[in-house]
Amino acid sequence: MAGAAWYPIAASHDLPLRHVFHGQRLGREFAVWRADDGFVNIWENRCLHRGVRLSIGINDGRELRCQYHGWRYSNRTAGCTYIPAHPADAPARTITIRSFPVAERYGLIWSSLVAAGEGPAIAVLDGEKALVLRGIAVNAPAKLAIEHLKNYRFQPLGAVADNAAATALTDCNDLSVTLRSRQDEAETLAVFFVQPVDANRCVIRGVLDADPAGKERIAVFHHHNERLSALRDEIERESATQTAPQPIEPVYEPVAPELAEIPPLAPAGRSAALNVRVARKWPAAHDIAGFELRALRGHLPTFQPGAHIDVHLPNGLVRQYSITNAPGETGSYMIGVKSEVPSRGGSQCLHETVREGDVLAISEPRNNFPLRRDAVRTIFVAGGIGITPLLAMAQALHHSNLVYELHYFARSQEALAFPDRLATLGDHLDTHLDLSPAATEERIRALLSNYRPRMHVYVCGPAPMLDATRRIASELSWPESQVHFEYFKNTHAIDDSSRFEVALARSVVTLEVPPGKTILQVLRESGISIPSSCEQGACGTCLATVLDGEPDHQDVYLSDEEKRSGAKIITCVSRAKSARLVLDL
């Protein structure tokens, strides 16, 4: 029925900069807001957490923040990107507000209950000009308003001050009334859309096929304001003589079952869930290619700063790349790929083979390098291509006016990736060019020398630089929990010669891990699905909880403190020192 059709939900002029408009149709409420990139979001007007209206939330231009607990939801995807009560965690679950199709046309914002193609087509308004009148709210059923609008009389443009026009009804349906007014040479067509707000409430949104300027425009507004207000009084007088229909009970859909419980383990293996097109490939710096990846259809999933995707390459390899986007930039993912010499085959393939227009398979974004936003100061230390996750993080803090500094170590000015993005960070960015390893260490020591409680440092870059930064932070008494790092790869030689048993506490299964095989492989062979990504002990996706036994850590993901505690294990490389390991799987 009407579900497939487009209907107006607001006027474009209801969405001034950074406003959240409270829309309503048939008892159901919507939070309608325009992001700074122009995209209009039409969302269910309820935060999934505690049901507070999102229309009282804050539109920061990229994300909508709930007033109650500060949960952030991203432009376009409506996915939750940050839960301030748990700053160390990436929102583990797919918490996404229900959003509705949107089209902006004829000066109105249109929506639909289902995806309904290109948007509304109102042939009589398809000319260049459209003037949207002020919406007139009426306390009466929409049907009654439609009836009265058929007899609405108005003056055409050019004869507004007169009173001798003939108005003819040219079209009418459940949604709108179309009228043409004529006086001599002057002629104006008007479509009046009636938006049923509730059973006994509606809004009349008039659109004229004219676009006068200056005084004439104001005269037209006055003319219709006056006549529509009179019409409203007439409709409401008649409505008052009838029995008011019961308000429509709004629909409250239950949240997805996986959101209802406190937290499950993330499912899914190393999957290529999405197909994307390379929309743009460009030199992001000397030796670094930028790739912009767009969904073939629909929206890409929500990402958080620090997240990476697996890219499945035409040559069969799978590589991880961090998303560099700023918050709310959800139309595409931007990644940077360094040309490695010698390449293990991934960077070479992307640099040489993959072109604009090619289709690639990628995984959903995964965030094993989450950004806390509760630091009094955040220091980012990037080396070379290690800038990519930190660029996304820096832009997120920058946009929220949080205190941070980004230190970018590179060989030369030309080697600095994404210069246009870096420029948006202003004097938060400090570049350190062409330093020797010793000079780099000295500089890092200076950067980390003023430790205060609640400061956090994030470092990403080549392994020697990461190792040095971690060592220096430790020497300068930074708590390990406040030093966050992401290695590109695990450069340690993996010793897979041991033999041990793995007992799975939840599945009540015991498996043997022989030399030459990893825990992850043995689990997979037994049909137990664990998510994984880099499969070399760097990204942390295949993390499992250890209940008993002593792990033999061989990864570069866990901190030393985490390794000492023995409570977690990276199953793609690490093994057991004890004869038996009990995992919470």
Partner 1 sequence: MNAASKCTDAVILNLWHVIGDVSEMQAGIVYQTVLLEERLSFAIDAEGAPVAWRSLPPGKSGEAFDPGRVSGKLPTVSAYGCVWACLGQPSADIFPIPEYAEAKRRNVNAGTIGVSVSAPRAIENFLDMGHFPYVHTDVLGAEPYTEVKEYDVEISADRDEIVATRCRFFQPKSSVASTEGSDIEYVYRVPHPYCSVLYKTSHVDESRLDVIGIFAQPIDQEHIRAHMMLCLVDEDSNDTAIRHFQQMIFGQDKPILENQFRKRLPLDPRAETPIRADKSSVAYRRWLSQKGVTYGVIPAAS
- Cα 385 to Cα 51, 336, 342, 382, 526, distances in angstroms: 42, 7, 16, 8, 38
Interaction between residue 428 and partner 1 (CB under 8 A): no
Sign of CA dihedral 536, 541, 542, 547: positive
- Among 164, 260, 423, 508, which residue interacts with partner 1 (rule: CB under 8 A)? 260
| 15, 103, 375, 460: which one binds partner 1 (CB under 8 A) | 375
Whose Cβ is closer to partner 1: residue 51's or residue 314's? 51
With CB under 8 A as the contact rule, the residue among 2, 376, 433, 439 that binds partner 1 is 376
- For partner 1, give the closer residue by CB, 376 or 579: 376
Give CA–CA dist 415/434, Å, rounded: 10
Residue 67 contacts partner 1 per CB under 8 A: yes
| H or E element at residue 278 | strand 274-285
**368/373 Cα distance (integer angstroms):** 15
Which residue is listed with tokens 């500089």?
Answer: 443
- Determine, following the binding rule CB under 8 A, whether residue 259 of this chain makes contact with partner 1: yes
**Among the listed residues 118, 261, 420, 427, the single contact to partner 1 using CB under 8 A:** 261
27 part of the interface to partner 1, by CB under 8 A = no
**Of residues 221-250, which lie at the interface with partner 1 (CB under 8 A)?**
250
Angle at 378 between CA 373 and CA 381, to 5 degrees: 125
SS3 assignment, position 106: coil
* Residue 455 in the binding site for partner 1 (CB under 8 A): no
Q: Work out how close the CB of 241 gets to partner 1 at its nearest, in angstroms, rounded to a whole number.
A: 24
Out of 85, 115, 251, 579, point to the residue binding partner 1 (CB under 8 A): 85
Q: Determine which helix (DSSP H) or strand (DSSP E) holds 188, and give its type and residue range.
A: strand 186-198
**Token couple for 88:** 């160390």
Q: Which residue of 27, 61, 70, 531 would you call a contact of partner 1, by CB under 8 A? A: 70
Nearer residue to partner 1 within complex by CB, 262 or 493: 262
> How many amino acids of this chain bind partner 1 (CB under 8 A)?
38
What phi and psi values does residue 463 have, to the nearest 5 degrees?
-55, -45
Sign of the dihedral through C-alpha 272, 368, 75, 334: negative
Question: Which residues 6+ apart lie within 8 Å of 359 measured at CB?
Answer: 275, 276, 277, 278, 296
Applying CB under 8 A, does 374 fall inside the site for partner 1? yes
Which CB sits closer to partner 1, 355 or 452?
A: 452
Looking at residue 292, its amino acid is E
52 binds partner 1 (CB under 8 A): yes
Binding status of residue 48 toward partner 1 by CB under 8 A:
yes
Taking the complex as a whole, the smallest distance from the CB of residue 3 to partner 1 amounts, in Å, to 22
DSSP 8-state assignment for residue 226? H
Cα gap 264→245, rounded to integer Å: 45
Alpha-carbon gap, residue 265 to 528, rounded angstroms:
13
| Closer residue to partner 1 in complex, CB, 80/335 | 80
Question: Any contact of residue 69 with partner 1 (CB under 8 A)?
Answer: yes
Residue 584 Cβ vs partner 1, minimum distance, rounded to whole Å: 17
Among 4, 18, 37, 51, binds partner 1 (CB under 8 A): 51
Which amino acid would we find at residue 241?
Answer: T
Only segment of 87-95, 227-235, 503-511, 559-567 that touches partner 1 (CB under 8 A): 87-95
229 neighbors 136 (Cβ within 8 angstroms) = yes
Q: Which is nearer to partner 1, 71 or 333 (CB)?
A: 71
Q: Residue 88 or residue 359: which is nearer to partner 1 going by CB? A: 88
Q: Which residue of 68, 182, 236, 480 would you call a contact of partner 1, by CB under 8 A?
A: 68
Question: Do the bridges between strand 201-208 and strand 131-132 make them parallel or antiparallel, or are there none, so unpaired?
Answer: antiparallel
Interatomic CA distance for residues 192 and 189, integer angstroms? 10
Q: Which stretch binds partner 1 (CB under 8 A): 33-41, 331-339, 370-378, 473-481?
A: 370-378
What is the three-state SS of 332-396?
Answer: EEEEEEECCCCCCCHHHHHHHHCCCCCEEEECCCECCCCCCCCCCEEEEEEEHHHHHHHHHHHHH
Considering only 47-55, 120-128, 311-319, 409-417, which stretch makes contact with partner 1 by CB under 8 A? 47-55
Question: Near partner 1 by CB under 8 A, which window of 64-72, 333-341, 352-360, 474-482?
Answer: 64-72
Which of 50, 222, 344, 471 touches partner 1 (CB under 8 A)? 50
* Residues in region 385-424 near partner 1 by CB under 8 A: 402
Task: Report the b/e string of 136-163 with b at 16+ CB within 10 A.
Answer: bebebbbebbbebbeebebbbbbbbeee
Task: Identify each DSSP E strand in 470-558 by its residue range.
Answer: 483-487, 500-504, 509-513, 543-548, 551-552
Name which position in 254, 342, 426, 516 contacts partner 1 (CB under 8 A): 254
Binding site for partner 1 (CB under 8 A): 29, 45-46, 48-53, 56, 67-70, 83-88, 93, 95, 250, 252, 254-257, 259-263, 373-376, 402
